[in-house]
Every structure is written in structure tokens, then in C-alpha cells.
Amino acid sequence: MKRTILAAVSTAALLSSSAAYAGPEAEVLHWWTSGGEAKSVAVLQQEFADNGGTWTDMPVAGGGGDAAMTALRARVLSGNAPTAVQLKGPAIQEWYEEGVLADISAVAEAEGWADVLPASIAGHMKCEDIWCAAPVNVHRVDWIWANAQVLADNDIDMPTTWDEFNAAAQKLQAAGVIPLAHGGQAWQDATVFETVVLGLGGPDFYQQALVDLDPAALTSDTMVQVFDQMRTLRGFVDPNFSGRDWNLATAMVMNGEAAFQIMGDWAKGEFLAAGKTPGQDFLCASTPGDGFLYNVDSFAMFAVDGDDKQAGQQLLAKLIVGPSFQKVFNLNKGSIPARVDVALDEFDQCAHLSAKEMTSSSEGGSLLPSYAHGMALRGAQSGAITDVVTAHFNSDMSSADAVQMLADAVANSY
């Protein structure tokens, strides 16, 4: 008798769950809200819809994702995690350790991700021995963007050393042009800072200081010079920079109000979305010095109940790493595909430079994770560094005090 009831109950449950199944659905938390970013994420929304999915958008404005991560924590703490979240670097493993991520190994294995992703990228997508995130792209952080006409009018070439950058900036300032478009938000200060660490210190120093957090590197003379250069850069920024969004800084370069911006290649997505042509309207070059700072966007799926949601997660993960999405999305986003087998013929010269230098720096041991974009360190450590960088940039703190504060903040962050 008992067995019959149980069988009846489970048949009814099956019927009702299959009757209720409405197809794959996903609630997607991301911070892609600027012009170029919105155009890029629309590519994924469209592919998801074309494959029968229903997308609920949860955009959280704020470059670099700080606000998105605050929103995520609130949702998870209230027991209502979004199904898919833009998440990257060690934060993926931090969330996995909290027991809230879904295992997407079945999709990864069926789609052969291990064969099409470079090992350095695949490593970020693994939690212990399972796949726990799907990579979207490779952004490069250490770029300078310039208005081609402004440089030509002032007889300036793209700088290849920080001294050249400073000399060009002084000349521009004398001519009444804002040398450096910058948004005064902590993550933007950190973005500039890490390119200066790489450029002045070199790849080994970057590794020691911002990946290994070696106290000797953090308090070195080289780090003092880095803060000196940050102070010099502060002098090239206009007085209204405080709180400005990064894409508004890009717009200043676009319209000729400013000459340069130091920003990852999501800035290229803004130029492209505005119809600008690289090499003609705007120029790209790596910031002075060797090396390549990478920033891989990825999505992690949070453990949720419901066939619709789980089907949505599987579909989303599959599409994200699929070759057609990787091409179209990255053409818009300014980045290059994470997959190694996507042809770059339709990509522009900046993307080609990125791909070439990613390969050469990987071979030369100078392919390095961006600390400012959450690829190198856990949140407590990267947050401690950024607090010091931004406190220095926004005050008259000496470089000597900044390095001491940096070493102390890192030591106290564990």
C-alpha cells in the first residue's frame, strides 16, 4: 500500500514538474552597463533567446564590478542567489569554498573545453577538480588609448617609456589639452597603478609585489618610484575627475578634450560602439614596459533548485564558450576570445597586438594576472592594496609613507 502511494506521489511530482517546465531560464548578474558593454552582453542575450532561453537581466552599474559584488553577497546571504554571475579570478574559488557554486563539469567535458582553452585560463575556471566557471574573453589591462588627431596636432608620438609619457603630457598641458582622462574611482586608480608597477619594475617585480606580496618588494625603492610616478600622473588629470565613470573618461579622449586614457581594452569597446576606427580616430599601445596584464571575464553558476534554472545554466555555459559567441561578443567588447581556435581575421589591429603579445609574454614568462581586476589576489588582499593606492592618489601623502602603509595594509589583511 505504502509503495503504491509513494509511486503515485512521485508520478504526480514528475508530471507536475514536467508540466511546469517552461524551458531554460537564467537570471544573470553582471556589470556591463556602458555603451560598448551593453552591446556586448546583448549578443549573449540574443543567443540565449535563439536557443529557447528566457533571460532575466540583473545589471549592476559600476565599472570594475565592486557594486555588483556587493549586490551578489546580499542575494546569496538572503538565500536567493542569481543563477549566473559575472565572477572572476580567485573570487570564483572563494565562492566555491562557501559551498554555493554549481558544478558545470558535464558541459565542459561534453564541449571539450580542456582542448580549446589555454591552460592558464582553464586554471582559473577550476575549483579543486571540477569546472566551476565559463570564460568569456581575455581583456588586456595595460593599454594606453589616445586621440589620434590631438597627438598629431601636438606633434606627439605614442609614448614608449614613462619619461616619454610625462614629457608628452607636459607638452599637452602647455597646449591646453587635458593630458590624462581619468575617473577618480578606487578601481581606476588601481588600474593605472598596476600598469606603472609593471612598467617601472618589470614583470618579475610585478610578480613579487602584486602576486606574491613580498614585503621586500612592497617597501622597495622601486615601489617608491611607482608612487612618485602616480603623483606625477595625478598632476596630468583635470580637477573634475573625482567619481567620474571610466567610460566618461573614454569619451573625453574620443571628443578630443583629453589626449590619453590608461585603461583595459573594454575602453576599445566604447570607441567601437561610437563608430570610431582604431589607427585612424584613436590609437592603442601597451603601457610602457614589458609584460601583459590579463583579465579574464567569466561566469559562475550558483547552485539553485529547479529544472528550468539548471537547464538555463547548462545552456548559458555552453553558449559562452561556444565559438560563435566568443567571436561576436569579443568583436564588440574590445577583448580577444578565450578559445584558441577562433580566427581573428575580423578583429582589429589592437586585438591582433593583444593576441601576439599574449603569446610572446606567455612564452617569456611575463603573462601576469591583473591585481586591479581581481585576477591575482583574494579580495581582502587586493582591497587592502587598492585602499592605499587610492588614499595616496587623492592626498598629498609622500611615496615613502605610501610604501610603508602598503606593506602594513597587506600584512594586516590576512
Which residue's CB comes closest to ligand BGC? 266
Q: Which residue lies nearer to ligand BGC by CB, 246 or 282?
A: 246
Count of residues that bind ligand BGC according to CB under 6 A: 11
**One-letter amino acid identity for 11?**
T
C-alpha cell at 95: 565562492
Using CB under 6 A as the binding rule, the residues of this chain from 21 to 60 that contact ligand BGC are 31, 37
Q: Which residue lies nearer to ligand BGC by CB, 175 or 274?
A: 274
Q: In this structure, how many other beta carbons lie within 10 angstroms of the beta carbon of residue 3?
A: 7
Task: Check binding of 65 to ligand BGC (CB under 6 A).
Answer: yes
Q: Which residue lies nearer to ligand BGC by CB, 141 or 342?
A: 141
* 3-class state of residue 260 by DSSP: strand
Q: Which residue lies nearer to ligand BGC by CB, 234 or 373?
A: 373
Q: Which residue lies nearer to ligand BGC by CB, 63 or 82?
A: 63
The percent helix, strand, coil of the chain (3-state, each to 5) is 55, 15, 30
Cα separation, 343 vs 327, whole angstroms: 8
Among 25, 27, 55, 63, binds ligand BGC (CB under 6 A): 63
Residue 20 has φ and ψ, to the nearest 5°, of: -80, -15
* Complete DSSP assignment for 172-236: HHHTT-EEE---BSHHHHHHHHHHHHHHHH-HHHHIIIIIS--HHHHTSHHHHHHHHHHHHHHTT
**One-letter amino acid identity for 92?**
I
Task: Check binding of 182 to ligand BGC (CB under 6 A).
Answer: no
Closest separation in Å from C-beta 118 to ligand BGC: 17
Q: Which residue lies nearer to ligand BGC by CB, 59 or 256?
A: 59
Using CB under 6 A as the binding rule, the residues of this chain from 354 to 383 that contact ligand BGC are 373
Among 47, 142, 189, 297, binds ligand BGC (CB under 6 A): 297
336 near 138, Cβ under 8 Å?
A: yes
Half-sphere exposure (Cβ direction) of 255: Cα atoms closer than 13 Å: 6
Select from 18-26, 61-69, 127-135, 228-236 the region that touches ligand BGC (CB under 6 A): 61-69
Closest separation in Å from C-beta 280 to ligand BGC: 23
Contact positions vs ligand BGC (CB under 6 A) = 31, 37, 63-65, 139, 246, 266, 295, 297, 373
